[in-house]
Chain A
Amino acid sequence: MKILVPVKRVVDYNVKVRVKSDGSGVDIANVKMSMNPFDEIAIEEAVRLKEKGVATEVIAVSCGPLQCQETLRTAMAIGADRAILVETSEELQPLAVAKLLKALVDKEAPQLVILGKQAIDDDCNQTGQMLAALLGWGQATFASKVEVEGGVAKVTREVDGGLETLSLALPAIITTDLRLNEPRYVTLPNIMKAKKKPLERVLPADLGVDVAPRIKTLKVSEPPKRSAGIKVADVAALVDKLRNEAKVI
């Protein structure tokens, strides 16, 4: 069975982004970029399924500018067998990415697509669900445990209040939550090996997909600043402030 894993190149999670003064977006020039953390978890899970003998091939996919190749190389260093870059300099929204991925799924015929639950830049949490809808497949989002056996995926999901387990008929879509696994560190020999793995480049037009954005960003602004607080000397002062100044207890 083939597994397809979409990965996204995003601003590194440790970077505190700055809003551009003209309100056109956030300043990501010269900022460290990395693979979206949830996607690392997705690749790791796919590679583990391959190591267990459940999957035969893991294909990593990324949509975006040429630099996404680096992200795909990282995915291959973790253990993906090959990679596909859908190259475009256009702004891609989740619906467009889902359509590009659908075209690739139609071509590659994987039994499972594992995505991260959300990208930490747009914080959308949409692409996996949209892809499931476009393919007419079942979905299990926010997975914290995945077992695949006999054409069925048993997935435990993190829901409000606890956990829920679903059974999905394959082919299906799974999106990863933080606690699904601990992604492995990539080693230098694996980074070298990943350079030799095949990386195919296609254009959205080759896939027949219109990627025009449906949602227009009018402006991006700083969130309201909290006014500076104070440090209190001891517990008594804290209780006094909460009772008499903030009046919250």
Chain B
Amino acid sequence: MTSLVIAEHDHASIRPATLNTVTAAIQCGAGTGEVHVLVAGHHAQAAAQAAAAIAGVAKVIHVEGEAFAHGLAENVAAQVIALAASYSHLLFPATASGKNIAPRVAALLDVGQISDITKVDAADTFERPIYAGNAIATVQSTDAVKVITVRTTGFDAAASTGGAATVETPGGVADSGKSSFVGSEIAKSDRPELTAAKIIVSGGRALGSSERFHAVLEPLADKLGAALGASRAAVDAGYAPNDWQVGQTGKIVAPQLYVAIGISGAIQHLAGMKDSKVIVAINKDGEAPIFSVADYGLEADLFAAVPELTGAL
């Protein structure tokens, strides 16, 4: 019962989602199975060292190669397959990268894949949300190897220090040649990462324009040290970048405090934030569905209420 966690990293450090996935892996082994971490990257020594320091990790497999420089699914999946024979569980964080690669691995092993688990009931039994989080399915895998993506908000982060895993460096697989990386545009932000933030200030269509979105929400987010999020309507209208979208098809978040401003609360949005500890809604429509999940609702015009709230903090 050894589990392999496929680390998400930027070659220099380990992304936080990996830590939640390690916790899920420890639970799959019921505390007795070993947890190994795969760091496949290019000049990723620092990330491998960081992985070795994660509490609960017994071994880090660090594979170097240009083929892994951009995390292409074809190459990473082939690498996981090369290692898979020794493992009962292969776990990926349910991030864009994990979701991209895990099903490819499962199909190559001819096993089903279990997406976005929120709870480990037993080594073969897991809970996962379906229908935009409106139902929770308890599922049991009948396959020999369990390929899983882990919803990071469902599990606590493992401590990033205190571990002393050994690091192995086997040779990596060759580049598949099926796809290649052309370029990327990664939004620069000084704010906390959306999925890891303790407080999120999120805006919807009612903000009316990109300028007002930023002018109204940024001072409040700055005061709270919060990440900024958005509803799909706000993203589609161009008020906020795509990767700020919270919801079924965007990011799933569960901060301590989620402030929904000018968001009506469609099912698809609620799916992304209803596990937040405290939800505050500011909306001038008293009938908006967001009030049915909000712990504290303020029925008011956001253009008056938000600056007042910013001032009061």
Task: State the A residues within 8 Å of B (CB).
Answer: 11, 13-14, 16-17, 19, 26, 93-95, 98, 117-118, 120-134, 136-142, 144, 154, 157-169, 172, 177-179, 213-223, 226, 229-232, 234-236, 238-239, 241-242, 246, 248-249
Contact A248 B257 (CB under 8 A): yes
Q: Is the CB of B95 within 8 A of A139?
A: no
Q: Residue B257 contacts which of A131, A172, A249 (CB distance < 8 angstroms)?
A: A249
Given A95-B112, A248-B278, decide whether A231 and B298 contact each other with a Cβ distance below 8 A: yes
* Contact between chains at A249 and B104 (CB < 8 Å): no
Contact flag A218-B138 (CB < 8 Å), given A167-B182, A246-B296: yes
B248 touching A139, Cβ below 8 Å: no
Instruction: Among A117, A234, A248, point to the contact of B199 (Cβ < 8 A).
Output: A248
- B residues less than 8 Å from A130 (CB atoms): 103-104, 106-107, 113
Distance (whole angstroms) from the CB of B313 to the closest CB of chain A: 7
B residues 170-185 touching A (CB-CB < 8 Å):
176-185
A165: B residues at CB distance < 8 A: 181-184
B134 touches A16 (CB 8 A): yes
CA distance A118 to B286 in the complex (A): 33
- The reply to whether B257 and A217 contact each other, CB–CB distance below 8 Å, is no
User: Whole-angstrom distance from the CB of A51 to the nearest CB of chain B?
Assistant: 23
> A173 to chain B: closest CB distance in Å?
10
Given contacts A235-B305, A236-B312, A246-B296, contact A166 B72 (CB under 8 A): yes
Binary CB contact string for chain B from 69 to 111 against chain A (1 if under 8 A, 0 otherwise): 0101110010000000000000000011101111111111011
CB-CB under 8 A from A139, the residues of chain B are: 73-74, 100, 104, 179
Q: Determine whether the beta carbon of A164 is less than 8 Å from that of B296.
A: no
Chain A proximity of B149: nearest CB distance (Å): 8
Report B-chain residues with C-beta under 8 Å of the C-beta of A26: 130-131, 134-135
Query: Given known contacts A141-B73, A161-B187, is B113 in contact with A120 (CB within 8 Å)?
Result: no
Instruction: Using known A-B contacts A172-B178, A178-B232, A235-B312, determine if residue A98 contacts B107 with beta carbons closer than 8 Å.
Output: yes
Q: Is the CB of A167 within 8 A of B179?
A: yes
